[in-house]
Amino acid sequence: MSSTPTGRSDDKRSVGRPQQDRQGLLDAAAEVFVASGVNAPVREIAARAGVGIGTIYRHFPTRAELVVAVYRHQVDACAEAGPRLLRESENAETALRAWVAMFVDFLVTKHGLADALRGDGTDPGALHHSFVDRLVPVCGLLLEAAQDAEGHRAETRNVSGYSLLKGIGNLCIGAAEDPLYDADELVQRLVTGFLRHRS
């Protein structure tokens, strides 16, 4: 993707554009990344979003900017979904399982991130730390609520949100390249183990 001037007073197409337009582009890009990887053609993203290629360039002049924006967008969506799922779900375990499924989808979207950013000056490690800082507390909140519903005593809850996220990440390694491997099923079994563990 080549650089295109943005934010100029004479660019009437970009000035004052509603924020939801940008969010729609990010949603479309995330869907395309899941299906085709982060190196998918820009025209595929534009077609999914129902816009012209120029619109993508105006919002995201380089591919790395688009990839990072999608990554942060997905992190924000996961973080914001946790409390909402606790409020709206039938019970805490259902909320946790729905959130974990969303997180697995996020990990698939993240596939190929480092390759897409290589040579662009963006540090994937820094992005990883920001995602851990944002999502570990949310996962911990959901896990604790589900464990409370299972009747765990505080002193026996020796598993953490970080451990659950780490375990999910390990189970998802290579899942995008192997259609015979159902990472989501194994992750849900891991959640069952976390909730039933009492010693």
pLDDT digits (tens, 9 = 90+) for 162-186: 999 999 989 988 877 788 888 899 9
**Three-state secondary structure call for residue 39:** coil
Tokens of 98: 């729905």
Residue 75's identity, in one-letter code, is V
The pLDDT, as a whole number, for residue 152 is 54
| Residue 40 near residue 111, CB atoms below 8 Å | no
The pLDDT, as a whole number, for residue 6 is 42
Tokens of 81: 């979904």
CA 83 – CA 47 distance, rounded (Å) = 33
Tokens of 53: 């290629």
pLDDT tens across 4-25, in order? Answer: 444 433 344 444 454 668 888 9
Tally of CA atoms within 13 A in the half-sphere of 188 that contains its CB: 10
With a cut of 70, which residues of the chain have pLDDT below it? Answer: 1-20, 108-109, 111-124, 150-158, 197-199
